[in-house]
Structure 1
Amino acid sequence: MPQTILITGASSGIGLASAQLFHQRGWNVIATMRTPESDTKLKELDPSRMLVTRLDLQDKTSINPAILSGIEKFTTIDVVLNNAGYGQNGIFEAMTPEQIQAQFDVNVFGVMDVIRAILPIFARTNVEGSLIKFALEGFTEALSYELASQNIFVKSVVPHGGVTGNNFVARFMRDAAVDSTLTSYDAFLAKTATSYKNMVAAAAVSSEDVAELIYAAATDGSDKLRYFIGDDKRGFLKARYESKNDDEYIAYMRSFFK
């Protein structure tokens, strides 16, 4: 029997590329998104192994129906890819509480709600499940320790240096938090804007590249936690994992924003 993966945020970018790749490799795919009626690509694939359904991380009532519809069609779920999320551009002081709450509802609490809903499914069906997630480093690592005891493996796929072929950048720039009265940040914002534009212009990793790494993480049979992909020209990852101490790491990172 084919294995089944549930993917959040499958309407575009990495989520869409992952849904297409897993389907191509013979998996059953539960492709979830906020507006499934707008999908024009996944519904063209073999419907016996593809289910496109609604799941909006800001609407908790949509999570269980999406999972249950997938179980009804495919009997079980083996892997969950928590892909849905977005970036927020702007300094903290310019962001409204509503903007911050909305992002946490999607990127943090939404992920937790999906995991909370799927764990009983893994337990009930005796599945050796996998949860694949982007970022949320502290929560991901802590969760990996406790769920390993249940034969559920948590994996964090971390793209860095910019990814092409997704809507992340467009939304990141469109929803920027701006306050023209906060002039003391002007120099900082100019420097970070230049750095970000250079990163986006140099992005060489595609959504399809990330999808391939996600597939490898889902199928390598290991308990490896972190998978990195991207160009570390700025040395952020090297600094994070190879610095002699925390002070050295913080000094290196601050040098980019002075």
Structure 2
Amino acid sequence: MTKTWLITGAGRGFGREIARAALAAGDQVIATAREPRHVVDGLPADPERLLALRLDVTDPDAAGGVVEEGLARFGRIDILVNNAGYGQVGAFEELSPTLIERQFQTNVFGTFNVTRAVLPAMRAQRAGRILNISSSLGIVGVDWWSVYGATKFAVAGWSEGLSKELAPFGIHVTSVHPGQFSTDFLDPSSIGMTDLQIDDYRPLDAARREFVAGRNHDQPGSPERFADAIIQLAALDTPPARWAAGSDALAAFEARAAQLRESAVEWHDLSLSTEHPA
């Protein structure tokens, strides 16, 4: 059966590759981006199965309009991929409240906006898949990425709770945690830098900037293979609540599991001491 996908941030990177893979699988795709021409320019011409629409995910009304237009064209939306977002980097103290709020508006509330717009149709059809692109930094915290990581932890935690709310309606939710992939994610056009300067953070900032410049477009993960895996994930009858993409993301899962176990054992008695006496 032909499926209809709604993919945000489809102008490049993961979003474009997922759209390409879905089309190659014979499905229909509503591909959104701030500039729809980037979608059209980057994907095979297929006016019957590809609908490219403008969307700023921070605009709830625009999200609703995209869903209405997609439903009018294809009749249903089977799979939502919340991919739109960017990385705000820098030590927490070197980021103004304005930059931090902007990061959350896109990565968290933008995801909320699109999901809220899609859910009535998915509930009505009693079926659906929602794939929320988090990050390996939504599993383990890393300095200089603390605010970006906070948004990805938020998406992962929300996804887990949402999956339980939507299960009675046949809707599955998966939090996807990619590691490092050779997309434009580390490109200056995709990340936001600090707008404040504090001398104490100069060594950290210099080291992280050097790493980003050296790793940009040289990450180990393949976006094309990631997209192929997403197609497989969306087809599962019982998809996982969380999924690690890449060896580094898998290592992050394993490290966090070990850390939680070690912490539980080390602080076992103190944890239990907080309850009322038996």
Fold match, TM over 0.5? yes
The aligned runs of 1:95-244 (5 Å cut-off) are: 95-124=95-124, 126-135=125-134, 136-160=155-179, 162-164=180-182, 166-171=183-188, 175-180=192-197, 182-193=198-209, 196=212, 200=216, 203-232=219-248, 235-243=251-259, 244=261
How many Å apart are 1:241 and its aligned residue? 1.9
**CA separation in 1, counterparts of 2:223 and 2:65?**
28
Match of 2:145 in 1: none
Q: 1:37 to 1:187 in 2, by over 3 A?
A: closer
How far is the alpha carbon of 1:54 from its aligned partner? 1.2
Q: Could you tell me which residue of structure 2 aligns to residue 24 of structure 1? A: 24
Contact 1:5–1:28 (Cα < 8 Å) also in 2 = yes
Aligned to 1:255: none
Which residue number corresponds to residue 53 of structure 1?
53
Between the aligned partners of 2:55 and 2:224, the Cα distance in structure 1 is 22
Range 188-197 or range 72-81, more displaced: 188-197
Note if contact 2:12-2:42 (Cα within 8 Å) is conserved in structure 1: no
Moved more, 204-213 or 72-81: 204-213
Read off the aligned partner of 2:133 and give its amino acid letter.
Answer: F
Following the alignment from structure 1 to structure 2, what is the Cα–Cα distance between the partners of residues 233 and 158? 7
Match of 1:33 in 2: 33
Identity of aligned residues (%): 32
* Structure 1 residue 201, shift from structure 2 partner: 7.2
**How many pairs were matched up?**
245
Structure 1 residues 72, 43: CA separation in 2 closer, same or farther (over 3 Å shift)?
A: farther
C-alpha distance 120-177 of structure 1, shift in aligned 2 (>3 A): same
Aligned partners of 2:264 and 2:212: how far apart in 1?
Answer: 24
Separation of aligned partners in 1, 2:217 and 2:57: 30
Aligned-partner Cα distance in 1 for 2:13–2:51: 18
The 1:96–1:42 alpha-carbon spacing in structure 2 relative to 1, beyond 3 Å, is: same
- The match for 1:68 is 68
- TM normalised by structure 1 equals 0.86
1:79-111 CA-partner distances (Å, limit 9, x unpaired): 100010111011111112221111111100011
Q: By how many angstroms is 1:148 displaced?
A: 1.1
- How far apart are the structure 2 equivalents of 1:233 and 1:18? 19
Cα distance change on mapping 1:235 and 1:128 into 2, 3 Å = closer
Structure 1 counterpart of 2:187, which letter? Answer: A
Q: Structure 1 residues 171, 147: closer, same or farther in 2, change over 3 A?
A: farther
Q: Matched residue of 1:77: which SS?
A: coil
SS in 2 for 1:31: strand
- Contact 2:86-2:191 within 8 A present in 1 as well: no
Shift of 1:59: 2.1
